[in-house]
Amino acid sequence: MIKDPAITGALARGTVVNFLGVIAKLMLPVFYIAITRLYGPAVFGVYLLANTVIELAISFTFSGFQNGVILFTARHAHDPAERPQVYQVLANTILVVLALTGLAIVLAFTAGPSFLEARYGREGLVEAVQIMALTLPFLAVPRIVVGATRGLMIMRYDLYLLGLATPMALLAVACSLYLVDSSVRGLAWAYFASNAAVSVLAVAVFRRHFSLRELRAAFRPFRFHRPLVIFSIPQGLNMTLVYYMSGISLLFLGAAEISRTTLAFFGTAAELTRQVRQIRIAFSNSFAPVISRLHQEGRLPELADHYTTLTRWVTILTVPVLLVILSLKEPLLLAFHPTYVWDSDFLYLLGLGAFLGCAFGLSANVIAMTGLAGLNLANSVFMAALAFGFNWLLIPPWGLWGAAAATLITTAVSVGAKSVQIWLLYRIRIRWRRAWKPFLAGASGCAVLGLAQLLPVSAAIRPGLTAALSLGAYVLVLVLLRPDPEDRRLVRGLLRGRKESP
């Protein structure tokens, strides 16, 4: 099959840049460690609840429009004659997002307090949610700018704005405000101030690649971009339900009779595996505009080929990260706070769920970026109901294990259903003859991880020894199976930190 070298090159460069963004986003766990150590796990547990509520609001108000900006910018930006349509998309996005974020803020100050008090009754939660809700317009700005630049096939600003600037600013401001207010209110104001600062940087990025004058002209006269809204509203609801599925266990546990410290313990453990999914996001960010363009041009065989390649790359990088997390789970959790000494074996279930979400999750991007927002929404409605049902059934008798099991089951059903759908719709599937090697190597590493628990060694050295043996087995098997040449090029690019050309 003959591939477009421009698209292939942009996809490879974007993948490297986005993977560097994943490394940068490891600043977020550093923030969690610092905040838990400073403010304490009880305060951090309430912050996690408030952050989950705000992330749901983010998904509803502008995540769908961020995807819409990527989709329609990728379709029109490469043709100078169609650039006015890009600004029309941006103008529509700004107006609708401002209206939706305004509505969310009003709800946070009207219906929100009574609901949060009745459902959770956690001290400081209502005030934290209200302060963080005021941040929504500032949160929207960098995400819209990142979406627009991705549509231009420029991937580096996810790294600069969301991967580096946001967590670094949040960490610096939160540590500074601790001296003034060590409650969850101080954390909430740190969230507000840091994201407001990043939004100013995002405007500067926008001016570098787009024209503010042409954007203003798109408002006079204003033209309604119906395809954008038809795509983005269902996609926003879909993103809300997707995040709801990832955060529903924390919400259920928050409403249960468990301590704030135990809530923070589970939230921290879940966040460790949730960060693994950033690997898939690194690839899907560069893949999204490619999907849109190839689908529009009817180049589905080429799209299917890229889908298999990226699935293999995601798996190659996901497995070793999970092996390290699962091997070192006890010392990693103790790094957050010395009280995190409870049984953490439920992380094996969360880790398997994270693996499935990474290895097979690109199917969701194919559905979304080919414009099937309605199908994506229908999928999410069903999966959200499934997640609600399993959490409702499993958490009361099994606690943290039940929450982890519910997450695993929902993820498995979700990626399985979407993989079947893209085969039925587009005849796109993983070509296993080109993708099986990292799966077999990963199984070998997991087997060694399990056997290492039986070694007669002290508890002090067991985690490190387990990590070394399981990683060694994974790398050895992968090398013996002789990775494909394009896999070696990927690894060389990551090791060199190859920069993306503008």
Q: Using CA atoms, how far apart are residues 23 and 449, in angstroms rounded to an integer?
A: 24
Predicted confidence at residue 33, as pLDDT, reads 82
pTM over 0.75: no
Helix axes 373-398, 226-255, angle to 10 degrees: 0
- Kindly give, in sequence order, each residue whose CB lies less than 8 Å from that of residue 302, ignoring residues fewer than 6 positions away: 1, 3, 4, 294
Do residues 70 and 369 touch, judged by C-beta distance below 8 A? yes
The pLDDT value given to residue 176:
92
Q: Which two tokens stand for residue 167?
A: 């967590």
Query: Low-confidence residues of the chain, pLDDT below 50?
Result: 1-2, 498-502
- Give, in order, the Cα–Cα distances in Å from 158 to each of 198, 208, 441: 12, 15, 31
Cβ-proximal residues to 36 (8 Å cutoff; 6+ apart), any chain? 44, 264, 268, 336, 337
CA angle 86, 92, 96 (to 5 degrees): 150
Nearest to 369 by CA among 269, 254, 238: 238
- Please report which residue ranges of 210-259 form alpha helices under DSSP H: 212-217, 226-255
Q: How far apart are CA 236 and CA 373, in angstroms?
A: 9
pLDDT value of residue 216: 92
Burial of residue 455 (CB within 10 Å: 0-12, 13-18, 19+) is exposed
Residues 334, 338: Cα–Cα separation, whole Å: 5
Exposed (0-12), middle (13-18) or buried (19+): which is 148, by Cβ within 10 Å? buried
Tally of CB atoms within 10 A around 172: 15
Question: What's the confidence (pLDDT) of residue 443?
Answer: 96
Give the CA dihedral 234, 209, 197, 27, nearest 10 degrees.
80
- Backbone φ and ψ for 222, nearest 5 degrees, come out as -75, 135
Largest CA distance in the chain: 75
How many Å apart are CA 340 and CA 41, to the nearest integer?
9
As beta bridge partners, residue 222 has 219
Structure confidence at residue 498 (pLDDT): 45
Q: Distance between CA atoms of 403 and 182, rounded to whole angstroms?
A: 30
Q: Encoding tokens for residue 337?
A: 């706070």
pLDDT at 417: 95
Contacts of 192 (CB under 8 A, 6+ apart): 131, 132, 134, 135, 138
> How far is Cα 315 from Cα 355, in angstroms, rounded to an integer?
8
**Helix/strand/coil for 483:** coil
Nearest to 134 by CA among 46, 61, 65: 61
* Per-residue pLDDT, 496: 56
Domain segments of the chain: what residues? 5-496
Residue 167 contacts residue 30 (beta carbons within 8 Å): yes
Beta-carbon contacts of 116 under 8 Å, excluding residues fewer than 6 positions away, are 53, 122, 125, 126, 129
21, 163 in Cβ contact below 8 A? yes
Cα separation, 183 vs 50, whole angstroms: 13
The string of DSSP letters for 152-180 reads: TT--HHIIIIIIIIHHHHHHHHHHHHTTT
